[in-house]
Amino acid sequence: MKKILVFGRPYSNGGDFLIYDRIVRVLKAFSPECCIELNLDSDARFQTAELNKYDAIVTGGGGAQYAEAYVRTSFFYQHMDEISVPIHYMGTGLYGADGEDETLYEYRYSDDIVAYFNKVIERGGQLASRDWVVDTILRNNGVKGVIMAGCPAWYDLAMLERPEGDTVFRKDFVCKEIRSIAISNHGLTKNAQDHEKKLRQIKELIVFLQKIFPGTEMLLTFNDGYITKYSRNYNLTLQEWAVEHGVKCVDLSGDAEKFRALDGIDLHIGFRVHTHIYCISKMIPSLLIEEDIRGYGMNETLCLPHIRAYAEHSKPDDFIANPYLNVQLSTLLEQMCVQGRIDYGEVFRGIRKCYETGMKAWLTNVMK
């Protein structure tokens, strides 16, 4: 019986818990006889002898764990030469300001990080990217053998098992049928000087949606909860304002099961990548507003429209809101209603194809 350690440090973000919940389900479905040990203890300290008792280690996931800072602080990087077990990074992302060509093609890893990545692969492990943008950056940095397996959170097994002709997506996106909308809060709120600008942006978005969808139930989701290290002021201010304006607030932190609160909605519009992914995985129409390369990469891979939160001349350390955001959304929603601009059935077929061509290859290698 193959013994696999699935390890991560999700802290509070509900999206990270969703990733680990789904990768465990996918692993068990692919190989029911294997023994999977899930360790999400952020304070876990390992001995390499303990790790070497496993047949494989699965780690990664999330939007930034291919970033140099994350890699260098990881136990696996620091003790690579002592670990004899293959390390398999599941669909993982990285930080980056945007999806412009300059970011995409000039992003450069330090030599030690590239050497570590290649060593992971040479020793029987894998690097799986969660989107084609991350895949491109890794390949352009000389990393060999990358697999684009998508984000594990894409894969709701019950949905994947539906026959091709059985879809719960609307054939026509009709605005009058929208009875419940979820709006996800900003993900990039560590910079306190940006709080007021981002609060203004999301408040204007909510008021805009209430105007074009009068009488529709509005849910505002917080992936990290309310009391967070850097974003407490933003979260609590937004929560108070939302309640005053008839919007129900939903805490999605710390537990993948909390995402079930979204199962009854008709549409998601917002900034959080994994709220977007969860909805798409459940065949719920969703529009993701991109805050950085993580959102860009997801929309690019799923062939969905690029909707930026930031203006063209905005900088990572000085946020400037996209002044055309609500106009862009208004036009896009009208095009969806009138002519079905976005075929969400096709989006889901793309996810299913990636599962068959990327994720299954990754799973097969884990189980070798």
Cα separation, 342 vs 289, whole angstroms: 15
Beta pairing partners, 161? none
Q: Cβ of 176: how many Cβ atoms within 10 Å?
A: 7
Give the pLDDT of residue 152.
96
What band does 148 get if pLDDT is binned at 50, 70 and 90?
Answer: very high
Task: Determine contact, residues 58/26, Cβ cutoff 8 Å.
Answer: no
pLDDT value at 167 more than 60: no
Give the pLDDT of residue 9.
85
For residues 196 and 340, state if they share a domain: yes
pLDDT value at 362 more than 60: yes
For residues 141 and 218, state if they share a domain: no
Task: Identify the residue with better confidence: 108 or 345.
Answer: 108
Listed in sequence order, the residues at least 6 apart from 346 whose beta carbon sits closer than 8 Å to its beta carbon are 303
For residues 338 and 355, state if they share a domain: no
Give the pLDDT of residue 231.
93
Cα separation, 217 vs 204, whole angstroms: 17
Residue 135 falls within a domain, yes or no? yes
> If you average pLDDT over residues 144-164, what whole number do you get?
91
Residue 85 falls within a domain, yes or no? yes
DSSP assigned state of 315 = B
Task: Determine contact, residues 246/217, Cβ cutoff 8 Å.
Answer: no
Tokens 């139930």 correspond to 217
Give the pLDDT of residue 25.
97
Torsion over CA: 126, 130, 131, 134 (sign): negative
Phi, psi of 156 (to 5 degrees): -90, 110
What band does 272 get if pLDDT is binned at 50, 70 and 90?
Answer: very high
Residue 200 falls within a domain, yes or no? yes
9-21 pLDDT, tens digit each:
888 999 999 999 9
> If you average pLDDT over residues 110-118, what whole number do you get?
96
303-329 pLDDT, tens digit each:
999 999 999 888 777 899 999 999 999
178-197 pLDDT, tens digit each:
899 999 999 999 899 999 99
Could you tell me which of 141, 116, 100, 139 has the C-alpha nearest to residue 300?
Answer: 100
If you write DSSP's letter for every residue of 36-68 in order, what string do you get? EEEE--TT----HHHHTTSSEEEEE-SSSTTSH
In the chain, beta strands by DSSP E: 3-7, 35-39, 56-60, 87-92, 126-129, 147-148, 180-184, 217-222, 248-251, 267-270, 286-290, 307-308
Residue 202 falls within a domain, yes or no? yes
Could you tell me which of 293, 360, 253 has the C-alpha nearest to residue 66?
Answer: 293
For residues 141 and 247, state if they share a domain: no
Give the pLDDT of residue 229.
87
22-57 pLDDT, tens digit each:
999 999 999 999 999 999 987 778 889 999 999 999
For residues 32 and 122, state if they share a domain: yes
Give the pLDDT of residue 177.
80
For residues 204 and 139, state if they share a domain: no
Strand 180-184, strand 35-39: pairing: unpaired
Residue 262 falls within a domain, yes or no? yes
Specify the number of domains making up the chain: 2
For residues 319 and 354, state if they share a domain: no
For residues 201 and 249, state if they share a domain: yes
Domain encompassing residue 249? 175-348
For residues 184 and 317, state if they share a domain: yes
Q: How far is CA 315 from CA 169, 198, 273, 311, 318, in A?
A: 37, 14, 20, 9, 5
Strand order of the β-sheet with 286-290 is 248-251, 217-222, 180-184, 267-270, 286-290, 307-308
Residue 218 falls within a domain, yes or no? yes
For residues 154 and 215, state if they share a domain: no
Least confident of 127-131, 171-175, 254-258, 276-280: 171-175
pLDDT value at 237 more than 70: yes
- Report residue 10 CA to chain centroid gap: 13
Residue 268 falls within a domain, yes or no? yes
Cα separation, 276 vs 288, whole angstroms: 6
Listed in sequence order, the residues at least 6 apart from 152 whose beta carbon sits closer than 8 Å to its beta carbon are 19, 20, 22, 23, 26, 61, 90, 91, 359
CATH code of the domain containing 141 = 3.40.50
Give the pLDDT of residue 171.
44
% of residues, the chain, pLDDT over 70? 96
For residues 250 and 358, state if they share a domain: no
Could you tell me which of 222, 219, 221, 304 has the C-alpha nearest to residue 265?
Answer: 219
> If you average pLDDT over residues 208-217, what whole number do you get?
96
For residues 50 and 139, state if they share a domain: yes
What is the average pLDDT score of the chain? 92
- Report residue 300 CA to chain centroid gap: 13
Give the pLDDT of residue 169.
52
Residue 269, both tokens:
């519009």
Residue 218, both tokens:
């509005």
CATH code of the domain containing 303 = 3.40.50.2000
